[in-house]
Structure 1
Amino acid sequence: MQKDIFKDYISFSPKIEKLFNFPLQPEWKEVCEKVHNEHRDPAIIEELINHNKSSRSKKVKTNLERLKKGKASIIITGQQLGLFVSPLYTVYKALTAIKLAEQLNTALTDQNFVPVFWLEGEDHDFEEINHFNIQEPKGNIRTYSLHEDENRLPVAKRMLPPQITDLINNLKSDLQQTEFSEHLFDRLTEIYQPGSGWLDSFRQQMQCIFDSLGLLYFNPTSKRIKDLSLPFINKLIDNNESFLTKINEQSEEIRQNGYALQVQLQNDYSYIYLTDNKKGRQPVFRKNNKFYLKDTDDIWSADQLKTTFSRNPAQYSSTVLVRPIWQSWLLPVVSYVAGPSETAYWSQLLPAFKVFGLSMPHLTPRNSITLIENRIKRYLEKYGLSADEIEPDFNRFLKHSIFKQQQFNDLKNSFKEINKQLNLFQTQIDGELNELDPTLKTPFDKTLTSVKSTINNFEKRILKRIDEMNSTMSNHLDIIHKNIWPLGKRQERIFSSVYFMNKYGQEWINSVYKCIDPGKPQHRFLEI
């Protein structure tokens, strides 16, 4: 059985430390010192400030002042731009970054820490972000989605389609109307207009949620950032073979230590993408010191590919294994807030950072939370269950919960025993009456038959009630399971934040933020 990198990382396993640059609980001053000893273009911090200067939030302005002072350390996270800020763990990643920056600013008053959300708009996999899910009152999962198309445009180049208006209207009519609904849907209608940019709409909704907490945003797809990234792009091309060799070597060590690889490397893959408006986002392959696009005549030497990007750096697009290094090349990242899969593939990158003269930052596991609403809390209490004992597999969960019906099974058996004893009693008395006075046997049998009929009728009423209660229990258990393990996955991976914004307004964000503890990454349940 293969070991789990994330579980070992959050459990402080010493075996895992050699795969990362810093332990889970690092000496933060040491981390900051290593990161700030690396050279970066100050124009990039200026651009980060420009990306956020329009905010009116006092905490955002405070964080911008921290950046202007110089030597600010970045606590960064990021995520694909899921429709309506989905799924929930996008919110938890952002809140973990904000809370960690807050804690470090309090603990290390001679340092400045700023939370930043990396707007991952370069991916072209529209199927991963074009939908979101909510749970209906009866427990079923309902999916809302925008039509997929075949083009490979990065998300940052996508515009919202006309159908976004109908989607918002349908969602509004389907959700329970609350005191927060009017404000929420006014904002969604304002933000998500047909023809608006997908990335910009996502960012605006994030600002509605997090501006009061001071979160900043970084758009790596902006032309200015791509222009400033040209030295990084050139280095990635020049050192492509050594970069991939280091990742392969690290990956082999991970395998030798009994862990599965999160990313299986392809030998002919350069982990560089080239984007144009006609073909969309295309992977660049590498063979015999040449770079090429499949099924085309496009073949470049390293110098020719650098020339291609120098003419238009905006054509460059990063990949899952390059993005973490590019982040640290651009910004003084001291910690990245990562989920389980991210932690696993980051473990493959430690020596690759060194190819670029960079120190791999610390990883902070994002907090993992399941929200327990009042209805689910009532059902759990009714059946004597606790949220942490609910299993992902529904049938196993149902089997383990069925013991609650044992008292009813005993009741069924009691009626069987009563009928059995009555039959034995009738046989015994009939025999004695035959000797005592046979004329008494007939009225006795009629009386006993009447008693049995009365008992049987009452048994039917009881069994019907038991069936009704069992049906109600099964429905409740189904709702519990679909809430805690929707589609067999953690709630945070399936549900959208928009459902909770509609029902609880900003207050649920405040409740989650209070619950967040970057130093305690174990999964927890939060009643809201």
Structure 2
Amino acid sequence: MYINYSDIPGHPNLFLDYLYEFENVEKFYGKNFRDEHEYNKLFDSLESYDRPHREKVTAIIKEQYRNIRASKLTLSNIEELNSKNTIAVVTGQQLGIFGGPLYTFYKTMTAVKLAAYLNDKYDNFHFVPVFWLEGDDHDFDEVRKINILDRDNSLKTLSYEDGLDDSVNRGSVGNIKFNDNLRNLLEELSSSLRDSEFKMTLMDLLKSFYQPEVTFLESFRNLMIRLFDEYGLVVLNPSDPEIKKILAPVFKKELSDYKEHTVSLVERSAELEEIYHAQVKVKPVNLFYIDENERLSIEPLDEGFRLKGRRKKFSYDDMIAQLEFAPERFSPNVLLRPICQDYLLPTGFYVAGPAEISYFAQLTPLYNYFEINSPYIYPRASATILENNVQSLLDKYQLKIEEVFSPKEDLIEKIIARNSGNNIDAVFEEAQGKINVILDELGKSLIVIDKNMLDLTEKTGTRINENLKYLKNKAADAERRKHEVTIRQINKMQNVLYPNENLQERELNFTYFANKYGLDILKWIFNELSINKFEHQILEL
């Protein structure tokens, strides 16, 4: 079953037009991911593009895998990256603890399945799925939390607490090492999940990767390799100092030409704002600098640069010297990251979610400045897992699943009204109308006696309406108490299908389903997930 994205709240118009009305946004993107007849032009261009660091990138990835027992398919794919006819199908994500929201896995599955589809269709090229680890990101609050459903089917947020003040700049999250507080999180997760035949296996898996003194990046990377290595997924750590050395020319060009880049990005963003919205606020320089373990924006001065929030200043020559001496101290922001990715890799496709698709509309001008081929931006698969017991509730209340994608209170009122002989809103609306008519007629009669009586009548009407509103609220509360079982079941249903009034894939962590059905649930999702419908998919379990 599939649902059009326009029927689900929260999707930006830019994303919807990208999917369904591409001619409206073609000037922002250039390449239409649906137009397969044009694919070969990019493939041929990527094959002929002189990529002198191709061999070096392959060697670095091999070194990153040196202590990993990878599958033959993955090792073959790493080797293939050294070939001129190899094209990368890339996706990436922040290092969310325990894998983050479900959509991280859906993005990964889309990249793997897209690469397989392309390998079947194009004999002259080899397509390799690559996962780009967003280790340079510094949003600690976003990566340390997961949502699950607990033993009572209540939505619960679990968070890793490192004991530091929230105002502390922790630098790149990929370098943060877990401390002993991680054990508290693992214990809380275990106690929150229902007992099942799969819980011990799941918890052992997480504990094998998530340990004190191990970094966010290492833990996330090893989990992704464990879950997707059999499909040949290549997990790339771009925070590697050796990778940063290769990226030094990109960083240098950004430092040298940031004014020109910024003008173009601001103009593009303004153009987007006239019709849609600009996803990312444009910064003067699209680079960060690591100083004393803090990741700080580089800001321009009349002469040189400074670090945001610091008094430390650099001349242009000093900054270039820093880049040549220690390129690992530099990292791209969200708008420059794709340029770095596609400078390193022969990227034919980037698998993106709605927000990423939106910000790609802003950054495409940068590809011309850096003389790099822009990839096709391929929408990731999107899905909601629908379990049998939840389907039974939908059937019981005669609900279509689309109706669940609405505010909880609206859904509860709709169900109660549908299953009750009384429509409280209608009853009180009718009563209010009758009272207003009576008061109006009364006012007309009393004004003949004394003009001041009209004002008194209006005040009396106001008090009556306030009492009527109070009575309506009491009646609604009584009606809700009468339907307590119904309300509990609706809460349970929405907690699974539309938690926090958001799509399941954006809120729930995979551990909830893996605990109920085992790790093989991921293989089931992989097999069921469609990557070419470009609508939200309902996976009936």
TM range (shorter): 0.7 to 0.9
Which amino acid is the alignment partner of residue 16 of structure 1?
V
Which amino acid is the alignment partner of residue 125 of structure 1?
D
Whole-angstrom distance in 1 between the partners of 2:406 and 2:48: 46
**Is the counterpart of residue 527 in structure 1 residue 540 in structure 2?**
yes
Which amino acid is the alignment partner of residue 396 of structure 1?
D
> Does the CA contact (< 8 Å) of 1:12 and 1:24 recur in 2?
no
Whole-angstrom distance in 2 between the partners of 1:475 and 1:271: 49
Instruction: Give the match for residue 245 of structure 2.
Output: 227
**Is the counterpart of residue 516 in structure 1 residue 533 in structure 2?**
no
Q: Residue by residue, what CA displacement relative to the aligned partner does 1:35-65 show, whole Å, maximum 9, x if unpaired?
A: 3343321211332343345333233133234
Instruction: Give the match for residue 448 of structure 2.
Output: none
Whole-angstrom distance in 2 between the partners of 1:247 and 1:400: 46
Shift in Å, 1:103: 0.5
Q: What's the secondary structure of 1:281's corresponding residue?
A: strand
Q: What's the secondary structure of 1:292's corresponding residue?
A: strand
Q: What do you get for the CA RMSD once the two structures are aligned? A: 2.3
Superposed counterparts of 1:128-143, under 5 Å: 128-143=142-157
Instruction: Give the match for residue 319 of structure 1.
Output: 333
Of 183, 186, 194 in structure 2, the residue corresponding to residue 176 of structure 1 is: 194
Q: What's the secondary structure of 2:377's corresponding residue?
A: strand
Q: What's the secondary structure of 2:405's corresponding residue?
A: coil
Instruction: Give the match for residue 158 of structure 2.
Output: 144
Q: Residue by residue, what CA displacement relative to the aligned partner does 1:207-260 show, whole Å, maximum 9, x if unpaired?
A: 22111222111101111111221122111111211111221222222223x111
Of 47, 61, 83 in structure 1, the residue corresponding to residue 60 of structure 2 is: 47
> Does the CA contact (< 8 Å) of 1:75 and 1:114 recur in 2?
yes
Q: What's the secondary structure of 1:196's corresponding residue?
A: coil
Instruction: Give the match for residue 462 of structure 1.
Output: none
Which amino acid is the alignment partner of residue 191 of structure 1?
F
Against the structure 1 CA distance between its residues 242 and 279, is the aligned structure 2 distance closer, same or farther, given a 3 Å change threshold? same
Whole-angstrom distance in 2 between the partners of 1:242 and 1:212: 44
Shift in Å, 1:408: 7.7
**Is the counterpart of residue 262 in structure 1 residue 279 in structure 2?**
yes
Against the structure 1 CA distance between its residues 221 and 203, is the aligned structure 2 distance closer, same or farther, given a 3 Å change threshold? same
Instruction: Give the match for residue 35 of structure 1.
Output: 46
Whole-angstrom distance in 2 between the partners of 1:275 and 1:467: 55
> Does the CA contact (< 8 Å) of 1:153 and 1:280 recur in 2?
yes
Q: What's the secondary structure of 1:385's corresponding residue?
A: coil
Of 7, 16, 22 in structure 1, the residue corresponding to residue 16 of structure 2 is: 7
Shift in Å, 1:136: 2.3
Whole-angstrom distance in 2 between the partners of 1:61 and 1:469: 62
> Does the CA contact (< 8 Å) of 1:239 and 1:355 recur in 2?
no
Q: What residue ranges of structure 2 are gaps of 5+ in the alignment?
A: 1-10, 428-478
> Does the CA contact (< 8 Å) of 2:85 and 2:124 recur in 1?
no
Which amino acid is the alignment partner of residue 492 of structure 2?
I
Which amino acid is the alignment partner of residue 28 of structure 2?
L
Whole-angstrom distance in 1 between the partners of 2:504 and 2:387: 12
Whole-angstrom distance in 2 between the partners of 1:170 and 1:520: 38
Instruction: Give the match for residue 108 of structure 1.
Output: 122
Instruction: Give the match for residue 474 of structure 1.
Output: 487
Which amino acid is the alignment partner of residue 408 of structure 2?
F
> Does the CA contact (< 8 Å) of 1:38 and 1:358 recur in 2?
no
Against the structure 1 CA distance between its residues 15 and 62, is the aligned structure 2 distance closer, same or farther, given a 3 Å change threshold? same
> Does the CA contact (< 8 Å) of 1:336 and 1:362 recur in 2?
yes
Q: Residue by residue, what CA displacement relative to the aligned partner does 1:71-123 show, whole Å, maximum 9, x if unpaired?
A: 31011111100010011111111011111001000111221000111010101
> Does the CA contact (< 8 Å) of 1:370 and 1:490 recur in 2?
yes
Whole-angstrom distance in 2 between the partners of 1:90 and 1:212: 17
Shift in Å, 1:3: 6.5
Instruction: Give the match for residue 319 of structure 2.
Output: 305
**Is the counterpart of residue 335 in structure 1 residue 336 in structure 2?**
no
Q: What's the secondary structure of 1:349's corresponding residue?
A: helix
> Does the CA contact (< 8 Å) of 1:353 and 1:360 recur in 2?
yes
Whole-angstrom distance in 1 between the partners of 2:368 and 2:28: 14
TM-score by length of 2: 0.82
Q: Which moved more, 1:139-148 or 1:288-297?
A: 288-297
Instruction: Give the match for residue 119 of structure 1.
Output: 133
Shift in Å, 1:471: 1.6
Identical pairs, percent: 30
Superposed counterparts of 1:360-379, under 5 Å: 360-379=374-393
Whole-angstrom distance in 1 between the partners of 2:57 and 2:79: 15
Q: Which moved more, 1:43-52 or 1:486-495?
A: 43-52
> Does the CA contact (< 8 Å) of 1:83 and 1:129 recur in 2?
yes
Q: What's the secondary structure of 1:220's corresponding residue?
A: coil
Instruction: Give the match for residue 229 of structure 2.
Output: 211
Against the structure 1 CA distance between its residues 357 and 497, is the aligned structure 2 distance closer, same or farther, given a 3 Å change threshold? same
> Does the CA contact (< 8 Å) of 2:87 and 2:126 recur in 1?
yes
Instruction: Give the match for residue 497 of structure 1.
Output: 510
Whole-angstrom distance in 2 between the partners of 1:216 and 1:238: 33
Shift in Å, 1:513: 1.4
Shift in Å, 1:33: 2.0
**Is the counterpart of residue 401 in structure 1 residue 415 in structure 2?**
yes
Which amino acid is the alignment partner of residue 250 of structure 1?
R
> Does the CA contact (< 8 Å) of 1:135 and 1:142 recur in 2?
yes
Instruction: Give the match for residue 186 of structure 1.
Output: 204
Whole-angstrom distance in 2 between the partners of 1:241 and 1:390: 48
Against the structure 1 CA distance between its residues 503 and 3, is the aligned structure 2 distance closer, same or farther, given a 3 Å change threshold? closer
Shift in Å, 1:12: 3.9
Which amino acid is the alignment partner of residue 150 of structure 2?
E
Which amino acid is the alignment partner of residue 172 of structure 2?
P
Q: Which moved more, 1:385-394 or 1:308-317?
A: 385-394
Shift in Å, 1:374: 2.3
Whole-angstrom distance in 1 between the partners of 2:328 and 2:355: 28
> Does the CA contact (< 8 Å) of 1:254 and 1:260 recur in 2?
yes
Instruction: Give the match for residue 429 of structure 1.
Output: none
Which amino acid is the alignment partner of residue 377 of structure 2?
L
Shift in Å, 1:385: 1.2
> Does the CA contact (< 8 Å) of 2:171 and 2:295 recur in 1?
yes
Instruction: Give the match for residue 213 of structure 2.
Output: 195
Which amino acid is the alignment partner of residue 516 of structure 1?
L
Whole-angstrom distance in 2 between the partners of 1:400 and 1:313: 58
Q: Which moved more, 1:284-293 or 1:106-115?
A: 284-293
Which amino acid is the alignment partner of residue 20 of structure 1?
Y
Q: What's the secondary structure of 1:73's corresponding residue?
A: strand
Q: What residue ranges of structure 1 are gaps of 5+ in the alignment?
A: 414-465
> Does the CA contact (< 8 Å) of 2:286 and 2:332 recur in 1?
yes
Q: What's the secondary structure of 2:91's corresponding residue?
A: strand
Q: What's the secondary structure of 2:43's corresponding residue?
A: helix
Q: What's the secondary structure of 1:347's corresponding residue?
A: helix
Which amino acid is the alignment partner of residue 61 of structure 2?
L
Shift in Å, 1:469: 7.0
